[in-house]
Structure 1
Amino acid sequence: MASLLVINARLITVAAGADNLGYLDEGWMLVEDGIIAATGAGQPPAGTTADETLDVAGAFVAPGFISSHSHLFTSGLRGLGANETLYGWCDSMLGFTANLTPDDMYWSTLHGSLDFLANGVTTAYNFTDPLQAWESMVDGKRLGGNAPLRPVEYHTRQADGCRDAGLRFVDAIGMDVSTGTDDEIFDRFAAEVAHTRAMDPALALGASIMGQVQWSPRPEAAELEVEAMRRFGVTNQAHFLESPEAVPLQQAKFALYQDAGALGPDMMFGHFIQTTPEIIEATAEGGASMSWQPASNGRLASGVALVPEMLDLGIRIGMGLDDQACTDLADPWGNMRAGIFMQRARTKDPLSMTPETVLRLHTLGGAEILGVADRVGSLEVGKFADFVVVDPRTPDVGPLWHPVRTYVLSMSLRNLKQVYVGGVLASESGVSTNPLAAEASARVHADLPARATQFGHPR
């Protein structure tokens, strides 16, 4: 059984219920067989040994970040639709992926997963590109809804990419309910879920539905998704109330989920910006949660979600990095700061969003809404040893008057030195230890431009 002893750490455990997020100015952590076996203050007790000792010499050791809303296949498509809102950006990015093969999607997802790991994200809720290709939205309505379905391998190869990167993930699958009979829809979904559930459960943490009611032309879409949630025991995260376009139509579709009985602990709303007091109250009463993507919301000019108000009502919230193609740099520290700045500018109240709050939302809060907080999200005994080593002296940020606040406000990817998943080094100074990393980079750089030449350049 392999073991690792981390010593001389500024340890941020993000322990549940701790006002200071469980910070220890000098701490240690023992990892056995990929699981946290013990943590403590000062030096480890006499006689504590391990196969390897990692002396971080005063660096921060904190949980790997959780991205509760991600699209990892987009890693090779950054910078597209830079002057567009959501639907125009989707036309640019997803209009291009409509021409990609399952093998293209594997390498693109692997590339995106390794990018997340290199930037300190160790668990992601990953929306796979659905089997039905994107069709443009006009006045908040999807045109046609009749694009031909791609093979099931188009999805399964994306899940394979997450696994082969060594990223922990929840696999979000589109049901594409506008194509096929109900039996065909459920059989197709069952095959995709079965593929994910056959993987190593230490990496594939669960299957979920990519809620598509916002785009689906079929009025029964919510009912079918709720039936799948119950039949297959999966969660659901819907992109919902994101774009500032066709807001009354979007808001009207909330009733479809509400009437279908979706508003429970297994239902998440991604973005959730164009809300009303009634929608927020119904979400809180039903026990549903939301995933907040501040950097993406700013990039796409989507607006600012009422996160402090939702937290006050008891809505559980996680934070996501969304697409690498709509945040361009998968930077969890930048995402946290964007969230703080947006909320404080909106409310004119610095207490409306604190550094401690966003750090919890981007770690344990994300794990909670995904239903995986028993395994990831904090550095607690019994959980996977997924952590980052962040050095406040390289570059030097000066004295640490309030260490946790400095960790959020002053650290950056420049300070990120190492990323561990299950106590095993996954990335060091931005360089992946994965043997597929070089090939993933080469394939993305070669294959995506070749597809652009073949089918037309993305814009």
Structure 2
Amino acid sequence: MNTDAADLLVRGARLITMAPGADDLGYVESGWLLVADGRIAALGAGDPPADVSAAEVLDVDGAFVAPGFVSTHSHLFTSASRGLGVSETLYGWCDSMLGLLRHAGAEDIYWTTLHGALDFLGNGVTTAYDFTDPRIPWEPMVAGVRQVVGRLRPADYQLRQVDAKTDAGLRFVNSTSLDDAVGTSDEVLGRFAQVCDYVAGLDPDVALGNAVTGGVQWSNRPDAAELEVEAMRRHGALNQAHFLETREAVEVQRSKFALYRDSGALGPRMIFGHFIQTTDEIIAAAAESGSGMSWQPSSNGRLASGTAKVPQMLAAGMTVGMGLDDQACTDVSDPWQNMRAGMFLVRAESGRPLDMMPETVLRLHTLGGAELLGVADRVGSLEVGKLADFVVVDPAAPDVGPLWHPVRSYVLACGLRNLKRVYVGGRLVSREGVSTSPLAAEASRKVREVLGALAREHGWPA
């Protein structure tokens, strides 16, 4: 075995590889992993062969080594807006949380996004589908319709959010709103193309792709779905729509599913985020088309939105991934909390423990999420050739007791308290919850300065 280019050798690891088709999620009781040029060069059970060496050797002494988490639905720019709108459901919470950010400029949103991206990395999330804050500022919604269309912010408002994720070192799919309430169809598509071209010029192993922020649920345009399909076609983009999320105007929401169906949007590049207020017919149509679903259980519980019928969707053959949603509505962007919240909500709803098992939620927050985003060739599992994104989680610090079923204990008994190290491309990005980024301290300072200044200037909160 040629290890001349090896950078890191991890040994003494309880590996959770998530290898497709492997028993027990590819668990290895004691194993090793070799990183070269940012990718997994080799891995195996037991001790590494005598001829395997690397510039750095890390003995994790029985800690779990598992894939970095994938969040399939995230709003990183909200990282400085936690703890707001606690007494509100979706639209009231949006009014509260976005009431200040609607006044933000491009540099302001850069720092809040950077803060959010570094927070994800510190919590073991190494890949995210991120909805950038639109160029049209938030306005109140009534029955799913925007009441006022405000100004269109400059183009760099969205581009600086891309810069922030890149500077943080987080892998991402960048999702952009069409802001279709302003301009002709050509102007709308031109603005989207500008962002797509910008993302396409970045490292393709960091900027993993482009996506449309599906807005049919809220758009006033009758051709909104057709416009999104054209944007998808031109740029090979995904589309993730916030859809059937809130309990408000449910029949109006459901009626808009036909707009996506009739426009030809349904298919493997179409993802429905939240997808709570569904019907059997809607689930069947989405599944038959190959459309996927992104599940945000912590957010759905926080905002009293409801519990998605995930077991039914999985049984119908839908590809499902898990997301942490806004850091302002999960408050702690904790993937272990999110997995457990999903398990508990489904079980409480159905009364059947087998409807959601620990192995299922772990897969949905790693490899399943990567499959949903079309990036499973690069992330989501520990396999030779894939990017070396992984977490080191020590079940002995603090001690969770005997590991009767290690994978289940990883999901149910471990968490951020046990997370010791996070690696992206074999590079240490967080240790004991402290970021290694030279921008981390400045990001923490800036979000306080920037948001404080905006609050004073605009008399917020009212």
For the aligned pair, the TM-score class normalised by the smaller chain equals: over 0.9
Map of 1:5 onto structure 2: 9
Map of 1:292 onto structure 2: 295
- Alpha-carbon displacement from aligned partner over 1:181-238 (angstroms, at most 9, x marks no partner): 1111111111111111111112101111111111111111010000110011111000
- 1:137-156 to structure 2, matched below 5 A, reads 137-144=141-148, 146-156=149-159
Map of 1:305 onto structure 2: 308
> SS at the partner of 1:15?
coil
Contact map agreement 1:80 1:458 (CA 8 A) in 2:
no
Contact map agreement 2:111 2:446 (CA 8 A) in 1:
yes
Runs of 4+ more than 3 Å apart: none
Contact map agreement 2:321 2:364 (CA 8 A) in 1:
yes
Distance in 2 separating the partners of 1:353 and 1:39: 30
Map of 1:106 onto structure 2: 110
Are residues 1:252 and 2:255 paired?
Answer: yes
Distance in 1 separating the partners of 2:422 and 2:416: 11
- 1:369-448 to structure 2, matched below 5 A, reads 369-448=372-451
State the AA in 2 paired with 1:368.
Answer: E
2:93 to 73, 89, 104: 89
- Alpha-carbon displacement from aligned partner over 1:266-286 (angstroms, at most 9, x marks no partner): 000000000001100000010
Distance 1:443 1:2, change over 3 A: farther
> SS at the partner of 1:21?
helix
Are residues 1:50 and 2:87 paired?
Answer: no
TM-score between both structures, scaled by the size of structure 2: 0.98
> SS at the partner of 1:414?
helix
- 1:60-139 to structure 2, matched below 5 A, reads 60-139=64-143
> SS at the partner of 2:24?
coil
Give the Å deviation of 1:373: 0.4
- Alpha-carbon displacement from aligned partner over 1:68-102 (angstroms, at most 9, x marks no partner): 00000000000010110000011111222110010
Map of 1:174 onto structure 2: 177
Distance in 2 separating the partners of 1:81 and 1:133: 18
TM-score between both structures, scaled by the size of structure 1: 0.99
- Alpha-carbon displacement from aligned partner over 1:410-436 (angstroms, at most 9, x marks no partner): 001000000000001000011000001
Are residues 1:321 and 2:344 paired?
Answer: no
> SS at the partner of 1:419?
strand
State the AA in 2 paired with 1:132.
Answer: I
2:359 to 343, 356, 363: 356
Contact map agreement 1:163 1:204 (CA 8 A) in 2:
yes
Contact map agreement 1:102 1:155 (CA 8 A) in 2:
yes
> How many residues matched?
458
Contact map agreement 1:4 1:54 (CA 8 A) in 2:
yes
Contact map agreement 2:240 2:271 (CA 8 A) in 1:
yes
State the AA in 1 paired with 2:426.
Answer: G
> SS at the partner of 2:97?
helix
State the AA in 2 paired with 1:191.
Answer: Q
- Alpha-carbon displacement from aligned partner over 1:31-62 (angstroms, at most 9, x marks no partner): 11110011100011121111111100000000
RMSD: 0.8
Are residues 1:276 and 2:279 paired?
Answer: yes
Give the Å deviation of 1:2: 5.1
State the identity %: 66
Give the Å deviation of 1:140: 2.6
Consecutive unaligned residues of structure 2, counting only runs of 5 or more, are none
Contact map agreement 2:6 2:34 (CA 8 A) in 1:
no
- Alpha-carbon displacement from aligned partner over 1:310-335 (angstroms, at most 9, x marks no partner): 00010000000001100000000000
Contact map agreement 1:93 1:458 (CA 8 A) in 2:
no
Contact map agreement 2:294 2:321 (CA 8 A) in 1:
yes
Contact map agreement 1:12 1:404 (CA 8 A) in 2:
yes
- Alpha-carbon displacement from aligned partner over 1:332-366 (angstroms, at most 9, x marks no partner): 00000000000111111110000000000000011
> SS at the partner of 1:28?
strand
- Alpha-carbon displacement from aligned partner over 1:100-125 (angstroms, at most 9, x marks no partner): 01000000000000000000000000
State the AA in 1 paired with 2:400.
Answer: V
Map of 2:227 onto structure 1: 224
State the AA in 1 paired with 2:137.
Answer: A
Map of 2:242 onto structure 1: 239
> SS at the partner of 1:308?
helix
